[in-house]
Amino acid sequence: MLKVGVVGCGMIGQEHIKRLSKKLQGVQVVAVSDVFEEGARKAAGICGAKVYTDGADLVADPDVEAVVVTSPGFAHKETVLQAIAAGKRVFSEKPLATTAADCKEIVEAEMASGKHLVQVGFNRRYDKGYHQLKEVLMSKKYGEPLMAHCTHRNPVVADTYSTEMAVHDTLIHEIDVMHWLIDDEYESAQVIMNKRTKNALPHLADPQFMIFRTKGGMTIDVEVFVNCKFGYDINCEVVCEEGTVKLAAPATPIIKSDASVATGIETSWINRFIESYDTELQDWVNAAAEGIINGPTAWDGYVAAVTADAFVKAQKSGQVEPIVTGEKPEFYR
């Protein structure tokens, strides 16, 4: 039974606390923390945990064997570094930190500690569909992957959603999952600003067409369209030398009615990927219990930050912008 402390009791924190307490095996939430004591008390009510208002105290609590960080993004770095210093495994929701430099600092702290302690909450890798894709690709049954065509479509976004958030909040999922999926590294970023949909607010460029090129020579294109109206529609087709492999959409009944035959498309990311969150945290719990990290590492968090920065630059410049992460350290291979 892994004893976990959760830092940050907002919406996502509460979701994870429920998940850890009610759905997963082999884990117990023994402490929660929030700068707003009331929020922490409410969250503690879910699971009967100790309450802290300072994450540092929670990390220091000897009852806490591992830490889950669900505070606002800007606060992740501090808690993650504390956990590393304490030699405790830590699961940080994405982003690992809000700048590439901060991510780098975490990477260096972890390497200095000599132990694999940090996992970042990129849940797509735990989606069953991506797993099936990965399995086929690794079999090399259809040869080497050459290209990938993706879409990331949301039915609608909040008024506060900005053009940059198309990278930081939306593309970020493809940024993490695609290099894992194809086992390659990014080289450059390009963004084509498209004619806009009438359904976006004037400040927002929507849709955008984003292109990765990899060190191995692959091209990965992603249509990011966050006011597509019709659904939360995630597609990924990997073109290999002798066949193509396409992500399955979740299975729904096939309905014939009104002169058409149709299956459903999810309209909410939460329904589309809900199972992956369970799998992700269960996997982290199981691995943490064995003292290892299986999932996205601090290095992956750093790569995501550097790549996102390049795409934001490319949004503005209209040019192909290099993605420069430096050599992947031996420690993370």
SS3 300: helix
Q: Is residue 209 near a copy of itself by the rule CB under 8 A? A: yes
Interface with a copy of itself: number of residues (CB under 8 A): 66
Instruction: Let me know how long the chain is.
Output: 333
Q: Is residue 41 near a copy of itself by the rule CB under 8 A? A: no
CB of 63 to a copy of itself, least distance (A): 21
Among 113, 194, 294, 325, binds a copy of itself (CB under 8 A): 194
- Subset of residues 263 to 292 that bind a copy of itself, contact rule: CB under 8 A: 263-267
CB of 54 to a copy of itself, least distance (A): 31
* CB 78 within 8 Å of CB 55: yes
- Subset of residues 136 to 155 that bind a copy of itself, contact rule: CB under 8 A: 136, 142-144, 146-147, 149
CA distances from 166 to 66, 106, 154, 226, 280 (A): 32, 25, 11, 8, 24
DSSP 125: G
Nearer CB in complex with a copy of itself: 99/197: 197
Nearer CB in complex with a copy of itself: 71/123: 123
Of the candidates 232, 122, 227, the residue with the CA atom closest to the CA atom of residue 174: 122
Of the candidates 266, 158, 149, the residue with the CA atom closest to the CA atom of residue 206: 158
Among 213, 269, 283, 313, binds a copy of itself (CB under 8 A): 213
Q: Note the helical H segments in 48-99.
A: 55-60, 76-86
Q: Is residue 317 near a copy of itself by the rule CB under 8 A? A: no
Rounded CA-CA distance 146/184 in Å is: 11
Rounded CA-CA distance 158/180 in Å is: 30
Q: Which residues bind a copy of itself (CB under 8 A)?
A: 22-25, 128-129, 132-133, 136, 142-144, 146-147, 149, 192, 194-199, 207, 209, 211, 213, 216-219, 221, 223, 225, 228-231, 233, 239, 241-267
